[in-house]
Structure 1
Amino acid sequence: MMKKNSTKGYVILGILFTLVSIIAFAVPTLKTATFWIAYVFTAAAFAAQIIIWRTALGKEALKSKFLGFPVVHIGIVYAIIQTVAFAVFLFAPTLPVWSAIVVCSIIAGVSAVCMISADAGRNEIERVEAEVQEKVFFIRELQADIELIATTETDADTKAELIRLAEKIRFSDPMSNEQLMDLENKISTKVLKLKTATNKVEIITELTLLLDERNKKCKILK
């Protein structure tokens, strides 16, 4: 579906540039150096859309595509502004050559800076989200382990304690921290023992205390 939409987008892009070219050459104005410079910049702006779209939307992840849309929007605005500038030089072909070079270069330069900034912002968002996912993995894995132990537990009282422990973990602070590594290693070790222990209630009590300590330290570290 995405590939079909991209193809349609390129077709629309081609049609629009064709219309711009037809109008440009049909209008009975002098085709001076100013005209040709503006025309070349406009052609480059339309051609750049293909590169911009492929770069911004080329990644497989849907979220990455969504974060790439601001870059695409800037690219489209760039093409529109450049087309407007071309129209000005089309109807005022006697303007000096340097004016076309300066104006079109500024449009292209500012657009490039904006797109680079937007792409850098997208990369930073993805980096932060990946870091967050890594930091919340400990609690998610811990909850899953306790829930699995609870499903196989045959003693009703112990099973109830395990369910309460899983709930406590679920409502614990999900964000980890390097300074919590030793404490979290202790918790992981206790969970490993819990899987094969005969007296699980004792270990559950120890885990509850360790979780309370972790949650308190999480608040301090924020």
Structure 2
Amino acid sequence: MMKKNSTKGYVLLGILFALVSIIAFAVPTAKTATFWIAYVFTAAAFAAQIGIWKTALGKEGTLKSKFLGFPIVHIGIVYAIIQVIAFAVFLFALTLPTWSAIVVCPIIAGLSAVCMISADAGRNEIERVEAKVQNKVFYVREMQADIELLADNESDAAVKTALTHIAEKIRFSDPMSNEQLADLENKISIKAAELKTASSKLEIITELNSLLDERNKKCKILK
């Protein structure tokens, strides 16, 4: 479906550029150097849309990534529209000097490129942060699942209750972390792993409960 939509978009681009070209050459005005410079930049603006769309929407297969790419596509479309307007001005304003087209058209292209690069950098940062969040959420959820399994298989009622309480505490713990909590989180992971083979689980559960309380408090402080 996405490929079909892309093909339709490229066909639409071709039709629009053909219309712009027909109008440009049908209008009985002198085809000066200014005209040709503006026309070349206009053709480049239309051609650039293909690369912009592929870069913005085809970077990854995820719907989220494609959604974050739409601002880049929007900037690209605005770039093409502004360039067409500038071309129309140079088409009819025959008295404008050649240097004006040489200056204006590259400025339009350059500013558009800066905006698109900035938007892409913003998209990359959003994806980086979200990937980090997903890793942390998985870390918390995996630990929760491990302790819930231990609770399900535990025959001692007191230990089972304590394990269930710890699993609930992990469930409602802040999934986000901080570099300053790395050592503390490593201790939590070690204690959680010890529960699988420990003969005296209640002692470890008490330590783990204390470590989780410390982490949750520090998470709030570090925000």
Q: Same fold (TM over 0.5)?
A: yes
Aligned partner of residue 28 in structure 1, secondary structure: coil
Offset of 1:15 from its aligned partner? 0.6
Offset of 1:185 from its aligned partner? 2.4
Gap change, CA 1:34 and 1:182, over 3 Å in 2:
closer
* Correspondence list, 1:106-117, <5 A: 106-117=107-118
Offset of 1:84 from its aligned partner? 0.8
Q: What CA deviation, in whole Å up to 9, does each residue of 1:161-192 have, x standing for no partner?
A: 22221111111222223332332222222222
Q: TM-score, normalised by structure 2?
A: 0.90
Aligned twin of 1:124: 125
Q: How far, CA to CA, are the matches of 2:53 and 2:194 in structure 1?
A: 53
What amino acid is aligned across from residue 179 of structure 1 in structure 2?
Answer: Q
Offset of 1:156 from its aligned partner? 4.2
What amino acid is aligned across from residue 35 of structure 2 in structure 1?
Answer: F
1:25 has 2:45 as partner: no
Offset of 1:80 from its aligned partner? 0.4
C-alpha contact 2:17 2:43 (8 A) present in aligned 1? yes
C-alpha contact 2:140 2:175 (8 A) present in aligned 1? yes
Q: How far, CA to CA, are the matches of 1:151 and 1:119 in structure 2?
A: 47
What amino acid is aligned across from residue 217 of structure 1 in structure 2?
Answer: K
C-alpha contact 1:138 1:176 (8 A) present in aligned 2? no
Aligned twin of 2:5: 5
Offset of 1:157 from its aligned partner? 4.1
Q: What CA deviation, in whole Å up to 9, does each residue of 1:136-174 have, x standing for no partner?
A: 443232212112222323444433322221111111222
Q: What CA deviation, in whole Å up to 9, does each residue of 1:168-222 have, x standing for no partner?
A: 1111222223332332222222222211234433322221122112222223333
Aligned partner of residue 195 in structure 1, secondary structure: coil
Q: Aligned pair count?
A: 222
What amino acid is aligned across from residue 104 of structure 2 in structure 1?
Answer: V
Aligned twin of 1:65: 66
What amino acid is aligned across from residue 18 of structure 1 in structure 2?
Answer: A
Aligned twin of 1:90: 91
* More moved, 58-67 vs 136-145: 136-145
C-alpha contact 1:34 1:94 (8 A) present in aligned 2? no
Offset of 1:44 from its aligned partner? 0.5
Q: TM-score, normalised by structure 1?
A: 0.91
Q: How far, CA to CA, are the matches of 1:153 and 1:91 in structure 2?
A: 85
Q: What CA deviation, in whole Å up to 9, does each residue of 1:57-93 have, x standing for no partner?
A: 1222222211111111100000001011111111223
Offset of 1:105 from its aligned partner? 1.5
What amino acid is aligned across from residue 14 of structure 2 in structure 1?
Answer: G
Aligned twin of 2:210: 209
Q: How far, CA to CA, are the matches of 1:55 and 1:206 in structure 2?
A: 50
C-alpha contact 1:135 1:174 (8 A) present in aligned 2? yes
* Correspondence list, 1:17-56, <5 A: 17-56=17-56
Aligned partner of residue 7 in structure 1, secondary structure: helix
What amino acid is aligned across from residue 200 of structure 1 in structure 2?
Answer: K
C-alpha contact 1:32 1:94 (8 A) present in aligned 2? no
Offset of 1:94 from its aligned partner? 3.4
Aligned twin of 1:159: 160
